[in-house]
Amino acid sequence: MRKILTNVLVILVLLVTGTQKLAAQQQAAPAPPKFKMSSVYYDEDWMPLQYTCGTANGASSEVQWADPPSGTVSFALIFHDMDAAPAKGVMDVTHWIVWNIPANATRLPAGVQPDASPDGIQQGKNIRGVNGYQPPCPPVGTKPHHYIFELYALDTKLDLPAGSSRVDLLKALDRHVIGKTSLVGIFGQGIDEKAWPWGVAKLPEE
């Protein structure tokens, strides 16, 4: 009987020790890198003028990203105005939608032209019905608007033709998003940029 009890105690000690070691290993395991994106301005900073309607040829800014989740097959991007909803609709203003960005890509260059498809990407309709970038252009003198880039990591390449709408894209994204990151830019017309509490983003030097 004593021998049986001794064996039971030994087994219990081994089980407890093994559990403690496993817990210690799990706690020591490094957290996976966070999927993130960046541009020429900081998150929630003022957008440089050349990427808005403040210039005659406002173009898309470069956007970069890093550490997408494992298993990413492609990326999709939606750029929209969080503070405007035409005709008080549910959907806010769509400025740019892009999909089938290759999994090995880490950036979209500045100045992507409408209907262009570098590296096989597809562009869809913005608020004006153009397949490309629509520069931010809030009403003069109103509060600055928030414009958000939302980048989705997908587990598939989308079977969606160029010229599709944002609604079409959102439907295609359903059940295929394995990661998401975002970046917000702020812009207003007739606003004293120097009085803006976060200042104005400076472009990187050439």
Is residue 56 located within the same domain as residue 123?
Answer: yes
d(CA 204, CA 71): 32
Is residue 80 located within the same domain as residue 13?
Answer: no
Per-residue pLDDT, 91: 78
Is residue 178 located within the same domain as residue 93?
Answer: yes
2 phi/psi in degrees, rounded to 5: -60, -40
d(CA 200, CA 203): 10
Report how many domains make up the chain. Answer: 2
Cβ atoms within 10 Å, residue 140 = 9
Q: Is 206 within a domain?
A: no
Is residue 145 located within the same domain as residue 187?
Answer: yes
The tokens describing 55, both together, are 């210039």
Q: Is 202 within a domain?
A: no
Share of the chain above pLDDT 90, in %: 63
Residue 67, classed as helix, strand or coil, is coil
Residue 72, classed as helix, strand or coil, is coil
Average pLDDT over residues 33-52: 92
Is residue 69 located within the same domain as residue 111?
Answer: yes
Please say if the pLDDT value at position 119 is more than 60.
yes
173 phi/psi in degrees, rounded to 5: -75, -20
Instruction: Give the β-pairing of 74-81 and 93-102.
Output: antiparallel
Cβ atoms within 10 Å, residue 106 = 14
Q: Is 172 within a domain?
A: yes
Is residue 128 located within the same domain as residue 157?
Answer: yes
Reported confidence tier of residue 196, pLDDT bands at 50, 70, 90: low
d(CA 150, CA 179): 11
Is residue 63 located within the same domain as residue 156?
Answer: yes
Share of the chain above pLDDT 70, in %: 74
Q: Is 203 within a domain?
A: no
CATH number where 161 lies: 3.90.280.10
Domain that holds residue 16: 1-30
Is residue 20 located within the same domain as residue 116?
Answer: no
Average pLDDT over residues 56-64: 94
Is residue 51 located within the same domain as residue 17?
Answer: no
Is residue 53 located within the same domain as residue 14?
Answer: no
Is residue 88 located within the same domain as residue 172?
Answer: yes
Per-residue pLDDT, 29: 55
Is residue 7 located within the same domain as residue 97?
Answer: no
Please say if the pLDDT value at position 20 is more than 80.
no
